[in-house]
Every structure is written in structure tokens, then in C-alpha cells.
Amino acid sequence: MWQSLLQDLKQGNYKSLARCISLVENEVAGYEVFLQQLPLTTTPVIGITGPPGAGKSTLVDSLIAVLVEHGKKVAVLCVDPSSAFNLGALLGDRIRMSNWYNHPDVYIRSLATRGSLGGLHPKILEITDLCKTAPFDYIIVETVGVGQSEIEIAGLADVTVVVLVPEAGDEVQTMKAGLMEIADVFVVNKADRPDADLFVRNLGLLLAPSNSGIKTAVVKTVATEKKGIKELWQQIDEYIQLQLTNERRSWLLAEKAYFLLQQQRMKDVNKQLLKLQIETEMTKGHFNLYQFVNKKAGTMNHTGL
């Protein structure tokens, strides 16, 4: 099954891609070996992030139109916040992209954060790699927009676009330590609103050249009217063409590797069994949690786990 799916994936079969994503999301047996067989690819990843209500989904919809106009194939991963109670998600923002669901050059997948605090799906790295295996020209990842904890996208994307609105003027200082520092391109959306020019000017004064010496671009857009979208794409494309090394990516990969190693080491640890063992030890009196943990850790190391 997996080998057949991989071949279909390379050929751009959208149904196979959708199935692969679901299998990986749900950790179906064999998915880890399947991921190890994915080829190395360099498909550019464009990250779109920013505070809620900035118009990210509408902006992505307009970007898709520009890419399709240029004859490009694009995959769009849209991450929505999950319910804190059942981890489900409304995925309502996808209504704004309804024009593209049946387009042969566009693949859209909605994902829920499933409680992840970084503004992304917990398996976004794996899902992005699946999309890279398919013959897309670009991959767009739109994040939840939860604030400063969202800097994960800077490690995932080749170019990070931060979307703001003119009313964000008072919030810029508080965002500076988070979103402000990860942007490769700033978008001031809804730029037809009052004080947009003043906000753009003040934003420009706050920006310093990046480590590469490149000044972060600021682009004004009105996504609902598709104004400024071509200029935005020009800035994104120019940044991608620079082929700069994403120093943040190694940190993201290190975090992911740590998590996966942790999962591997802990796969034989059963919480229910731990509870029963602790209850047994407690009946003996003088139970010491730290001695118990040290003993269990020694047993795991001895068995090579």
C-alpha cells in the first residue's frame, strides 16, 4: 500500500496525497517507514502568519490567483485553532477559498492545531514534506495567528510573511519580540483604512536590516479588492530567489527530532501500569516518587530503551 501511495504522490495524485496526510496524522502502522522513503526536495514554502482578523485567508486566496495566473501549481495548508475540549475545529476560513477546491492546479488541506501551542499542526513538518514530494511549485502554510508563540513557522518556511492591519499600531511594540522578528516580508492589509500610510511609515522606522543585511519589505494590500497582491508576490519571489539559508530551520528540526526521540523512548511506558505500580509501592509505606522514577529509568536503560 505505502509503495503504491508514494508513486501516486510523486505523480501528483491529490486523492493519494489526501490519504497520505490522513494516515500520517493518525499514525497508522508503517507511516514512519513511509516518511523515511520520501525524497529530498526543494519546493519553496511560504508561511503566512499574523494576528487573528488581519485577513490572512483572503490574502492567501488572492495569492493563489496570482500563482495560477502564472501557470504554477500550489498546495495550501490552512491551520485552524482547535476546541480546547474536543480538539475539533470549525475550519470556517476555508469558505474564503471555495473558488479553488476543484481547480486542477490547487490543493487545499485544512488542519486543526489539535492543542498544539505553536500555531501549527503537530505534524505540520511531516505534512509539508508530503506536499513537497508531490509536483507542486509552491506550498503555502497559513497559521492560526495566536501571537508570539507562533514563531515555529519561521523555521518551516523559506519566506515568512507577517500580515498586520493599520489598527495594530499600538500592538507593534508588544509584538516586536515575537512576530516582528520573524518577518521576511510585512503586509499591511486593509490599507484603505484611515492611518494606513502612517502605520506603514512607523513600521518601516522600526525595522532594521536582517542578519543577511536585507531590509524587510513592507507591502500595502487590500486583499478583498486584490490590490497590492502582485507587488506582494514580487517581494516574496525576490526573497525566495535569494536562496538564503534558514538558520531557524535547524532549531525547528532539532525540536522535532527531540520530540520523536522522546516518543520512541516512551512508547513502552504505560501510564495505567505506572499508576498500579505506584499504588502497590504506596501500600508498602514510605513511598518516594524520585526513588521510584530513578529505579524505572534504570530498568529502561538496562533493557536498551
β partners of residue 1: none
Q: Are residues 159 and 262 in the same domain?
A: no
Beta bridge partner(s), residue 45: 139
pLDDT at 211 (0 to 100):
53
Same domain? 200 vs 171 = yes
For 111-139, what is each residue's pLDDT tens digit?
876 555 455 678 888 999 999 999 999 99
Helices marked H in 78-185 — which ranges? Answer: 124-133, 152-156, 172-175, 179-182
End-to-end CA, the chain: 30
Decide if 182 contacts 158 (C-beta within 8 A): no
223/203 Cα distance (integer angstroms): 19
Strand 45-49's sheet: what is its strand order? 106-112, 74-80, 138-142, 45-49, 159-164, 185-188, 217-220
Do residue 133 and residue 233 come from a single domain? yes
C-beta separation of 236 from 67 below 8 A: no
Same domain, 224 and 280: no
Domain harbouring 91, CATH code: 3.40.50.300
Contacts of 260 (CB under 8 A, 6+ apart): none
Helix (H) or strand (E) run with residue 62 in it:
helix 56-69
**All 3 cell numbers of residue 275?**
499508576
Report the alpha-carbon distance of residue 182 to residue 121 in Å, rounded. 19
* pLDDT 10s digits, 143-155: 876 554 456 788 8
Q: Based on the domain organization, do 58 and 197 belong to the same domain?
A: yes
Query: Among residues 178, 141, 133, 142, which one has the least CA distance to residue 10?
Result: 133
CB-side neighbour CA atoms (13 Å) of 257: 6
| CA–CA distances in Å: residue 242 to residues 59, 69, 231 | 23, 23, 17
Residue 108 shares a structural domain with residue 19: no
Whether 16 and 108 share a structural domain: no
Contact 135, 69 (CB under 8 A): no
pTM for the model stands at 0.84
Judged by DSSP in three states, 77 sits in strand
Look up the domain containing 33 and give its range: 1-38
Q: What phi, psi does 218 have (nearest 5°)?
A: -120, 125
- In this prediction, residues 218-238 reach a mean pLDDT of 96
Q: What are phi and psi of 280, to 5 degrees?
A: -65, -45
Percentage with pLDDT > 70 across the chain: 82
| C-alpha cell, 58 | 483572503
CB atoms within 10 A of CB 302: 8
Q: What's the pLDDT at 261? A: 85
Residues 9 and 138 in one domain: no
| 172 closest CA partner among 203, 215, 210 | 203
Are the beta carbons of 31 and 196 closer than 8 angstroms?
Answer: no
What total of structural domains would you count in the chain? 3
Claim to verify: residue 104 and residue 216 sit in the same structural domain: yes
SS3 of residue 194 by DSSP: coil
* Other C-beta atoms lying within 10 Å of the C-beta of residue 98: 10
pLDDT tens per residue, range 24-49: 999 999 999 999 999 989 999 999 98
What does the pLDDT read at residue 148? 44
- 137 lies in the same domain as 198: yes
Residues 83 and 163 in one domain: yes
* φ, ψ dihedrals at 160, nearest 5°: -110, 125
Residues 220 and 296 occupy one common structural domain: no
Which letter does DSSP use for residue 298 in this model? H
**pLDDT digits over 244-294, tens only?**
777 777 877 887 888 888 878 887 888 889 999 999 999 988 888 889 888
Q: Which residues contact 140 (CB under 8 A, 6 or more apart)?
A: 45, 46, 48, 60, 63, 64, 74, 75, 76, 77
